[in-house]
Amino acid sequence: MDSVSRRGALLQAALLGGASEAVLRRGAAATATRIVDAHVHFYDPSRPQGVPWPAPSETILYRTTYPARYLESVQPLAVDGVVVVEASPWLEDNLWLLRLGDDHRLIMGVVGNIPPGHPDFRAAVGRFSRHPLFRGIRVGSGSLPRLLDNAQMFADLKFLAGSDLALDVLLSGQPAFDAIARLSGALPDLRIVLGHLPIASPAGETARSKFQEGLRGLTRCTRVYGKVSGVARRVGGQVPADASFYKPALDELWEIFGPERVIYASNWPVSDLVAPYATIFRLVRDYLAARDQETVDRFFWKNSLAAYKWRERSPKA
């Protein structure tokens, strides 16, 4: 049996519910030809200077976290590469991640943490972007109105766009989607990547209506991508394990962003606070089970390549 036929047979077995965990390797992972996880974190609390995040009280997260631990966590899946997002606000930790990437070919891209408005913003972006793994910076969604209204901060974002780098916007609370649309309209060349979707609508009819209107407004923003890294959630103390539970929220993301702008991401190891990696992966794999090959490949790696322009590397760490 050739590899394509074998992949189809494995997928059919998985859909029928008769596959073992070993069958969930890349060959049966919703027929994805490769998998790039577009949102993970690496850090080392044992360094002499420690880390600013996570806090020692966060016992699940506060441990040495390198590519080897990631690869152990994702087994038996076969992940080809990752995009690492820097959570530390310490400027030189961007360099720490880039050097880690030099030693681990699993890392295909690094999203740094350099706040717009920082007096050394342009110098730092210029310095780090000379490294081919440096693919952009991250900001919190709460800062967007200020970034739009502050002339220096906006100029820094314009510089980022001119440097062909991406902007990660980490969604928290009830983000102002209208500000994201405004930013995309003001800087049409800037690739904006939103994580962690989907997020719950606010309570109350008025607030929910405004939230939905803002989210749907992103349909027209063709340079705004959505990272699907917030699927699993606790409900009544349990994490629903059936993909059908999450289907309405995922359907909405596909309707808004289309198959060309949804991106696979896990938010590992933060995802461990909710569910094991295999569960996180299985939910999106099962949701995509009936999709065609091109749609699946777009989700699992092609869209992140378009958003970040990550570096092509060997899948071996």
| Model confidence pLDDT, tens digit, residues 30-55 | 478 999 999 999 999 999 999 999 99
Strands 81-85 and 107-112: parallel
* Mean pLDDT value across residues 81-100: 97
Q: What is the pLDDT of residues 197-235, one digit of tens each?
A: 998 888 888 888 888 898 999 999 999 999 999 999 999
pLDDT exceeds 50 at position 8: no
pLDDT exceeds 70 at position 25: no
- Confidence tier at 99 by pLDDT (50, 70, 90): very high
* Mean pLDDT value across residues 100-117: 97
**Average pLDDT of every residue of the chain:** 89
**168: exposed, middle or buried (Cβ count in 10 Å: 0-12, 13-18, 19+):** buried
For every residue of the chain, DSSP letters joined together read --HHHHHHHHHHHHHTT---GGGGSGGGSTT-S--EEEEE--B-TTSTT--SSS-TT-TTT-S-B-HHHHHHHHTTS---EEEEE-----TTHHHHHHHHHHH-TTEEEEEE---TT-TTHHHHHHHHTTSTTEEEEEEEGGGHHHHHH-HHHHHHHHHHHHTT-EEEEE--SS--HHHHHHHHHHSTT-EEEEES---PPPSSHHHHHHHHHHHHGGGG-TTEEEEE------BTTB----HHHHHHHHHHHHHHH-TTSEEE---BTGGGGTS-HHHHHHHHHHHTTTS-HHHHHIIIIIHHHHHH-PPP--S--
Q: What is the pLDDT of residues 148-162, one digit of tens each?
A: 999 999 999 999 999
Predicted pLDDT of residue 1: 37
**Percent of the chain with pLDDT strictly greater than 90:** 78
* Mean pLDDT value across residues 14-37: 54
- Confidence tier at 2 by pLDDT (50, 70, 90): very low
CA distance 189 to 216: 21
Predicted pLDDT of residue 23: 35
- Confidence tier at 245 by pLDDT (50, 70, 90): very high
Give the residue among 188, 210, 211 at the shortest CA–CA distance from 200.
Answer: 211
Partner residues linked to 176 by β-bridges: none
- Confidence tier at 175 by pLDDT (50, 70, 90): confident
Token code pair at residue 143 = 């800062």
Predicted pLDDT of residue 11: 37
CA distance 48 to 51: 9
CA distance 80 to 59: 28
pLDDT exceeds 60 at position 315: no
CA distance 247 to 231: 10
Strands 262-264 and 36-40: unpaired
CA distance 317 to 313: 10
CA distance 85 to 140: 12
Sign of dihedral through CA atoms 261, 264, 267, 272?
positive
pTM of the model: 0.88
Predicted pLDDT of residue 314: 60
pLDDT exceeds 80 at position 253: yes
Predicted pLDDT of residue 30: 46
| Window from 26-30, 81-85, 182-186 with minimum mean pLDDT | 26-30
